[in-house]
Amino acid sequence: MALIQSTLVDAPALQPGEFSVRRGQRIELRLKHEGKKMIHRLELLPPVDRDDQQPLMVFGVLKPGGSSLRVFRAPSQPGRYPIHCAAKEYTPGPCGVLGVQ
């Protein structure tokens, strides 16, 4: 199993923001929001070269001071999967990348 730990503040960026895992690997993702204002809504999207851009997984809402734990399997296809943040306070966009080998 891969353990991924990352933090967010009041900006659309995970720290660290890029992670590498193997195809189908079990992942434990731990997120902590160290900001004071923004509410983040994180989702995993398919690689940008795919036609369908519907979220593969929604990690949920993360409020200031909050934390989240998700356990899931990495996608079976290799690629760079954007972790997208859809917070109301700024234009939605990528805040990290899950690299699948």
Q: Which residues of the chain have pLDDT under 50?
A: none
d(CA 97, CA 18): 5
For tokens 């399997």, name the residue: 73
d(CA 94, CA 62): 16
pLDDT of residue 92: 66
User: What backbone torsions phi and psi does residue 59 show, to the nearest 5 degrees?
Assistant: -80, -15
Q: What is the dihedral of CA 11, 19, 86, 40, to 10 degrees?
A: -60
Task: Give the 3-state secondary structure of residue 74.
Answer: coil
In Å, how far are 11, 20, 28 from 93, measured between CA atoms?
11, 20, 23
Is the whole-model pTM more than 0.85? yes
pLDDT of residue 90: 66
Length of the chain counted residue by residue: 101
- Give start and end residues of each alpha helix (H) in the chain: none
